[in-house]
Structure 1
Amino acid sequence: MNRLEAFGTIAAQAARGEISFPTSVNAVLRLQHALNDPDCHLEDAIRLVLGEPQLAARTVALANSSTFNTSGRPVTNVRSAVTRVGYRNLQTLVASLVVRQFGARIEDPDLRAKAEQLWEHTVQVAALAHVFARHVTFVNPDTAMFAGIVHEVGGFYLLSRADGFPGLLDDDPEKWAELCEDVVTREVARKLALPEPVAEAIFELRGAWLHMPPASLLDTLLLANMYASVPSPLGTARAPLPEHSESALDYLLDEETLHRMIEEASEIAASMGGALLV
């Protein structure tokens, strides 16, 4: 099967709703559905988090980041951490587990390296989206962080499928991978039951232009992608950032404020990050 046929097969399966998730992803999705239940009690949420050691550790780490620990008093247990970060951010951490699990079955070393880079990019974008939402676009920062975590979920699925098609994601001047990823992203988003505003922002992200002043969830994701120091290994080459004094953002932010925001995002990313393939 040549590459074009392979892309066609993956895209056609996605269009028919034939998205195959690893067993580990399905387990995390059950956790996601439970937390999404409006009747899920705090005690049930705590029990579910404790059942996933990675989720428990990341919840406590996020709760102790400066963004959520404004009092300076660290939390040392899941109960306090869940209360501090709230259900929305807990759902973001669950989504990050879903993304991680897509990489768990990749065996090809080159694809594993791409998955690691995509994960690092994803975490940076999620953290930056949270900070830009609070200081620039004024959309809901929790929604922005969630959108950042899932904005490349189609790419992770494509990487997991590429393991069965050697050379699929090699040099791709015709951009077949981008077309396939767009189809896959829509179906994966449906399977994950992403909220419509989040899904629409993700679908529109490729090729979108930043509005000035930036004020939407899409603008927030565009800004986060612009300032992520690690680019996606699946996207087109990112244009170099202009000097801040040459940027339209100079009308909104001075250089010192922008630097502080990037530092704040780095701390959030560190609390959510860690190796993808563990």
Structure 2
Amino acid sequence: MNKLEAYGHIAALAIRGDLVFPTSVNAALRVQLALDDPECPIDEAIRLVLAEPQLAARTVALANSAMFNRTNGPEVTNVRAAIMRIGYHNLFALAAAMVVRQFGSKIADPELRAKAEQLWQHTVHVACLARIIARDVTYTNPDTALFAAIVHEVGNFYLLSRADEFPGLLEDDPENWQPASEEIITREVLKKLNIPEPVSTAIQGMRDSFLQIPPETLLDTLLLANHLSPVASPLQAAPRELPPHSESVIDLFIDEEMMEELLAQAGKDAEAMNATMLV
């Protein structure tokens, strides 16, 4: 089966809803779906988090990180205090990060594992940049931007998780590149994960959309964060370019000092998130 056939086969299975998720993904997904209910009682959220020891440890670690404890408040030592500090939206994003991270956990091929690790680093940097850009530049919801960025490459993580079964699937081969199949796979994975429609639409729009000037939307936030990320996606056919002359006008809404602060803060947050996910 060549690359074109493999993409077509996986896309056909995705359309039928036949998506193969690792057991660890399904466990994290159950937690994520429960937390999606804004009326979920705090005691139920605590029970769900404690039922997944990795999520419990990471929730406490994230609450104590510089990302959510910028005022050097007292260290939290339990899940209840951690959830109260980071909030449901960020707990939901953390569960989503576990889902994304777990896709690469069973990859056997060393080269594919390296791609999965680079894709994770790309995801973390885009997520931390998106959160700050949403807060300080586009004035969209920072929690939504963080979540959207965490899942924006989930289609490619899924492809990596299936690549062991389809040798050559991710080899460079422009003649067999199938963006339509990749779009289908991403769309169906997002649907399977119950990603909210506004987030899903923004993610799917990243392939063909341009950053508007000034940036104002969730899509703009993701495009700008992706452009500024110091780590590129290993599966991106080519870097997503900004519109002509965009580079020269970015300083109209992000001056040099603000850009330095933005990149430095995002870098620190990325280190905190990486440390959290290693717990």
| Deviation readout 1:220-267 (Å, 9 max, x if unpaired) | 0001101110100111332789xxx95311111221111111111122
Instruction: State the partner residue of 2:137.
Output: 136
Give yes or no for the alignment of 1:44 onto 2:44. Answer: yes
My pick for the range that moved more, 22-31 or 268-277, is 268-277
Between the aligned partners of 1:108 and 1:138, the Cα distance in structure 2 is: 42
SS in structure 2 of the partner of residue 103 of structure 1: coil
Instruction: State the partner residue of 1:257.
Output: 258
| Deviation readout 1:182-226 (Å, 9 max, x if unpaired) | 111111111111111100000110131100100000000001101
Identify if the C-alpha distance between structure 1 residues 196 and 48 changes in structure 2 by more than 3 Å, giving closer, same or farther. Answer: same
**Structure 2 length normalisation: TM-score?**
0.92
Instruction: State the partner residue of 2:86.
Output: 85
Instruction: State the partner residue of 1:32.
Output: 32
**Structure 1 length normalisation: TM-score?**
0.92
Alignment of 1:27-176 (within 5 A): 27-77=27-77, 78-174=79-175, 176=177
My pick for the range that moved more, 16-25 or 143-152, is 16-25
Instruction: State the partner residue of 2:193.
Output: 192
Instruction: State the partner residue of 2:5.
Output: 5
Report how far residue 177 of structure 1 moved. 4.9
Between the aligned partners of 2:176 and 2:119, the Cα distance in structure 1 is: 18
Deviating beyond 4 angstroms after TM superposition, the runs of 4 or more aligned structure 1 residues are 274-278
Instruction: State the partner residue of 1:230.
Output: 231
Between the aligned partners of 2:37 and 2:26, the Cα distance in structure 1 is: 17
Between the aligned partners of 1:96 and 1:130, the Cα distance in structure 2 is: 14
Between the aligned partners of 1:44 and 1:79, the Cα distance in structure 2 is: 11
Between the aligned partners of 2:267 and 2:158, the Cα distance in structure 1 is: 26
Q: Does structure 2 retain, via aligned residues, the 8 Å contact 1:58–1:272?
A: no
Between the aligned partners of 1:14 and 1:258, the Cα distance in structure 2 is: 40
Amino acid at match of 2:177: W
- Where in structure 1 are there 5+ consecutive unaligned residues? none
Report how far residue 274 of structure 1 moved. 4.7
Instruction: State the partner residue of 1:214.
Output: 215
SS in structure 2 of the partner of residue 214 of structure 1: coil
Cα RMSD (Å) of the superposition?
2.4
How many aligned positions are there?
Answer: 277
Between the aligned partners of 1:226 and 1:59, the Cα distance in structure 2 is: 29
